[in-house]
Amino acid sequence: MGRLMEESEKLVEEARSALRQLSDLQYELRDYERRRGEILRMYSTGQISKEVFDGLMGELKQKMYPLVRRYFELKAKLRALESQLRLVVTRLSVEAKASESSVYRASFERDQRVRQALSRVGSALEDVQRELRSADVERELRMLDVLLDALPKEEMDVWRSALSEVVEAWSRTRLSYAGRIEEIERRIENLSDSLRELEVRFAVGEFEQGEYEVRKSAIEREIGELQAQLEALQEKLEDLDLIAARCRELLSR
């Protein structure tokens, strides 16, 4: 009994520590991600040359590498802690059931300690699970892009689990991207039909020139906005697919 209580406290402390470390690390990573976004913006608007862009991105990835590596190490630790915490919750639940059936004072006091420990472990488990569920697969793919560029070949086997997990998550998330793209394409097609219908109605004299131009301009503006959204989504999808393909290639070796 005493050993189980000690084990539960130790796991709770380990979980709290790992979560704090991951939270601090996320803050640092977001800072580098903002810098990455600014470099991409400057390059896309022609403010810097390809040579300067490559140099800045290379330097940034080099600085991000130890942080990204630590991120996936902490995530793996949380996965392991989740399993251990689940087991301890089960064992403490069994102890609680056994204690509540006893009428002895000592058993009552033990029951209180067990239930307090069960509450702490259960709370830690929920926090770990919440953190793991909140992982952003798009963000993790971009982090893997940094990791793959510098990861030593002899360490690849150690990282297979992390690569597989992110790639599988991306396969599921990708479906929502495909759905959004199809929806936008459908809306563009419907608007194009409306535009053609408007032109026919104008040709047969249903509208004056002024009203026709106003309606036409509104439809064309909406089509233009949707086209911009579509292109941005397709570009993002292509970019993330490329990183996922690199991960799959490494996993197949």
Contacts 24+ apart (CB under 8 A), 182-185: 184/226, 184/229, 184/230, 184/233, 185/230
Is 108 a residue whose pLDDT tops 80?
no
Q: Are 163 and 247 in contact (CB under 8 A)?
A: yes
Please report the pLDDT score of residue 100 as a whole number: 63
Q: Check residue 231 and give its pLDDT.
A: 94
pLDDT at 102 (0 to 100): 58
Which pLDDT band holds residue 126 (cuts at 50, 70, 90)?
very high
How confident is the model at residue 112, as a pLDDT? 78
Please state the rounded mean pLDDT for residues 84-88. Answer: 94
Per-residue pLDDT at 87 exceeds 80: yes
Would you state the pLDDT for residue 99? 66
Residue 61: per-residue pLDDT: 86
d(Cα 49, Cα 191) in Å, to the nearest integer?
Answer: 39
CA distance 253 to 251: 6
**Segment among 11-15, 87-91, 171-175, 249-253 with least mean pLDDT:** 249-253
pLDDT of residue 149: 73
Q: Let me know: does 79 contact 139? Beta carbons within 8 Å.
A: no
| Residue 14, pLDDT above cutoff 80 | yes
| Structure tokens that stand for 65 in this block | 């590498």
What is the domain partition of the chain in residue ranges?
1-135, 137-253
DSSP 8-state class, residue 104: S
Given a cut of 90, whether residue 230 has pLDDT beyond it is yes
Q: For residue 232, give the amino acid letter.
A: A
**Per-residue model confidence (pLDDT) at position 117:** 87
133-188 per-position pLDDT tens digit: 998 999 999 888 888 877 777 777 778 888 888 999 999 889 988 899 999 999 99
pLDDT value of position 250: 79
Please answer whether residues 67 and 144 qualify as being in contact, where contact means their C-beta atoms are separated by less than 8 angstroms: no
Q: What is the pLDDT of residues 201-228, one digit of tens each?
A: 999 888 899 999 999 999 999 999 999 9
Q: Which amino acid, one-letter code, is at 146?
A: V
pLDDT digits (tens, 9 = 90+) for 20-78: 999 999 999 999 889 988 998 899 889 999 999 989 988 988 888 899 989 999 999 99
Residues in contact with 240: Cβ distance below 8 Å, sequence separation at least 6, in sequence order: 138, 141, 142, 170, 174
Rounded average pLDDT over 2-17? 89
